[in-house]
Amino acid sequence: MSIKIAIIGAGASGIIAAIEASKHSNIVVDLFEKNSAVGKKILASGNGRCNISNSNLCEDSYICENHELIRSTIELFDFEKFEKYFKNLALLVDTKDDGRSYPLSNEASSVVLALTSALKNINILTNTTITKITKNKKFTIHTEEKEFTDYDKVVISSGSQAAPTLGSCSDGYEFASYFKHTIMPTYPSLVGLHLNTKVHAKLSGVKVNAKAKLFINGVESDSTIGDVLFTKYGLSGFAILDISQKASLGLLNHDRVQIALNMVINFTRSQLSSYISSQTKLTPTLNILTLLSGVISVKFSKVLLDFLEINYNEQIATLNSKSIKKIINHLQDWRFDVTQTHGFKHAEVSGGGVSSHEVTNNFESKLVKNLFFSGEVLDVLGKRGGYNLHFAFASGYIVGNHITK
Ligand SMILES: Cc1cc2nc3c(=O)[nH]c(=O)nc-3n(C[C@H](O)[C@H](O)[C@H](O)COP(=O)(O)OP(=O)(O)OC[C@H]3O[C@@H](n4cnc5c(N)ncnc54)[C@H](O)[C@@H]3O)c2cc1C
C-alpha cells in the first residue's frame, strides 16, 4: 500500500519536503504550486544572490512563541547538516566572516536549479491554486476546477503574505483556520518604515551609514548600525530592515514607535562638539553649509539647515551655541515617529502565522493527525541574514522525513 501525500506550495520549504518524502519507497507525492514555476521567491532572495543560511544559527535569531520548536529544528538541521545537504545536491556555498552563507556561484538561480534537479518521482502541478483542503477519512485538495482526492497526509507550505507578486497570500492561514488552528496576528517584517515628518521626502535618495535605535513607548528596544536610506515614504536600508521586526510588532500593538538616527557615528558627541569649536577658531569665516558638508552629504546638510531655519551662508563664528547644539542633536539623535510599515507588498517576510505551539517538533498538527505545516506559514520569523531560508529548508527537511513514518 502506498502513502499519498499532497504538498501545498513549492517554495524553499515545500520543495525540500517533497524531495525528502519522495526518497522513501511506496510514497506518491503531489506538489501543488499556483505560480507557473517552482521556487519563485528563492530566485528573488538576497537581491538575486540568495543569502541561503547562516553559520551563527541560534534560538535568538528567531522571533517565535515556541522556543523549543526552534531549538529542536536547529538541532535536527544545523548549519553543518545544511552545508552537507546542499553539497549532495552539487551546490557549494560560500560562508562569509559574519556567518552569512551564499551559493558559491553568487546566484539564486543555482539554488533553484539544484533543488529542481532533485525533484524526482514527484508530480509537480504548477499553475494550480488550491482553494480548500478538507478531511473526511482522507484529505481532499480543492481547486476552482477540480478535486484531488485520497491523500493520506498533507503539508501546508504555502508561505506568508509577504511579497505577493511572488505568489504570497494568506491562503495557508485560511486552510489552517478551517482545521481550527490559531493564527497569530501577522505583520510585515524586513520592510521600510513610514515617518510622520515631511523632511524624509526632501532627503529622498540620501544614504548614510548610521546607527538606528528603536524606541517602543520611549524605551530603547533595539539598535543596529548599517545603511539607512531616506525615501519618499520614510526610511529603508539594511539598518532599518533589521529593526523593522520589532517596530512592526510595536505598531501592531498600537505602541508609540520611534527611531533615533545617529548619522555621524565616527564621532562621539563631545568629539563632534570639539571639532566644530576647533574649526570655528581655525576658520571663523567658513560658512556652516561647508562645515557640515565635510561631515555629511551636501543634500543632507542643506535639508537639515532648512529644517532648523539656519542660513547656509552663516559664518560658523557667528552661530550661537543653541544653534550648534541643535545641529549636533539632529546629526546624532534625530528622532522620528514611525506611523506604519511599507506594507506586505514590500516586505521580505511576515511575522505571526499558524501558532507554532500547535505543531509537534516534527511539524505535525497537534489538532489534526497527518496534517503538517512547514516554512513561513508558521509564526516563525528569522532575522535578516539567511535565517528565514534556513528555517524554511530545515522545517521542510524534518517534515519530509517524518511524514513517511
Ligand atoms: C525579496 C525577498 C528577498 C529575500 N531574501 C532572503 C534572503 O536573502 N535570505 C533569507 O533567508 N530569506 C530571504 N527572504 C525570505 C525567504 O525567501 C522566505 O522566508 C522563504 O522563501 C519562505 O519559504 P516558504 O517555502 O515557507 O514560502 P514561499 O517561498 O513563499 O513558498 C510558498 C509557495 O506557496 C505557493 N502558494 C501559496 N498559496 C498557494 C495556494 N493556495 N495554492 C498553491 N500554491 C500556493 C506560493 O506561490 C509560493 O510559491 C526574502 C524574501 C523576499 C520576498
pLDDT, tens digit, for every residue of 148-162?
A: 999 999 999 999 999
Beta strands at 257-262 and 334-341: parallel, antiparallel or unpaired = antiparallel
Cβ pair 194, 341 in contact under 8 A: yes
The answer on 236 and 118 residing in a single domain is no
Grouping H, G, I as helix, E, B as strand and the rest as coil, residue 364 is: strand
Which residue owns the Cα nearest ligand 1 atom 13? Answer: 45
pLDDT tens readout for residues 206-235: 999 999 999 999 999 999 999 999 999 999
pLDDT band at 405 (very low <50, low <70, confident <90, very high): confident
CA gap 381, 364 in Å, rounded: 19
Q: Which of 270-279, 338-347, 384-393 has the lowest mean pLDDT?
A: 270-279
Does one domain contain both 36 and 153?
A: yes
389 CA to centre of ligand 1 in angstroms: 8
| 84-110 mean pLDDT | 97
CA of 47 to the centre of ligand 1 (A): 14
Q: Which three cell numbers stand for residue 27?
A: 510514497
Same domain, 294 and 220: no
Query: What is the predicted pLDDT for the residue at 394?
Result: 98
Is the predicted pLDDT of residue 25 greater than 90, yes or no? no
Residues 277, 238, single domain; the answer is no
Report the nearest atom of ligand 1 relative to the CA of 46. Answer: 8
pLDDT at 333: 97
Rounded Cα distance, 65 and 277, in Å: 51
**Whole domain around residue 243: which residue ranges?**
189-264+335-341
CB 80 within 8 A of CB 87: no
Q: Using the atom order of ligand 1, give the atom closest to the CA of residue 15.
A: 25
Report the CATH number at residue 51: 3.50.50.60
194-208 core/surface letters (b: 16 or more CB in 10 A; e: else): bbeeeebebbeebeb
Instruction: Clarify whether residues 281 and 132 are in a common domain.
Output: no
CATH, residue 295: 1.10.8.260
Q: How far apart are CA 155 and CA 120, in angstroms?
A: 18
CATH number (domain holding residue 246): 2.40.30.10
Same domain membership, residue 305 and residue 204: no
**In the structure, which protein residues have their CB atom closer than 6 angstroms to any atom of ligand 1?**
8-14, 32-35, 40-42, 44-46, 50-51, 129-130, 157-159, 162-163, 166-169, 171, 348-349, 375-376, 386-389, 392
Q: In the chain, what percentage of residues exceed pLDDT 70?
A: 100
Indicate if 284 and 326 belong to the same structural domain. Answer: yes
Same structural domain, 43 and 90: yes
Residue 149 and residue 87 in one domain? yes
- How far is 331 from 121, CA to CA, in rounded Å? 60
Q: Give the whole-angstrom CA distance, residue 100 versus residue 82.
A: 13
Instruction: Supply the Cα-derived Rg of the chain in whole angstroms.
Output: 25
Report whether pLDDT(340) > 90: yes
For residues 377 and 298, membership in a common domain is answered with: no
Q: Are residue 369 and residue 242 in the same domain, yes or no?
A: no
Q: Are strands 27-32 and 122-125 parallel, antiparallel or unpaired?
A: parallel
Supply the pLDDT for residue 366.
98
Question: Grid cell 533615533 — which residue?
Answer: 260
Look up residue 233 and give its three cell numbers: 515614504
Of 320, 341, 362, the last residue of a domain is 341
Report which protein residue has its CA nearest ligand 1's atom 38. Answer: 158
Contact 302, 203 (CB under 8 A): no
The answer to whether residues 86 and 150 belong to one domain is yes
Q: Please tell me the distance between residue 182's alpha carbon and the centre of ligand 1 in angstroms.
A: 21
Domain end (from 294, 309, 341) = 341
C-alpha distances (whole Å) from 99 to each of 79, 80, 95, 360, 381 are 10, 12, 6, 29, 18
As a whole number, the mean pLDDT across the chain is 96
Q: How many domains does the chain have?
A: 3
Q: For residue 1, is pLDDT > 90?
A: no
Helix ranges restricted to H, 188-261: 199-202, 238-252
Given this model, what pLDDT does residue 370 score? 98
Count of alpha carbons within 13 Å of 149, Cβ hemisphere only? 4
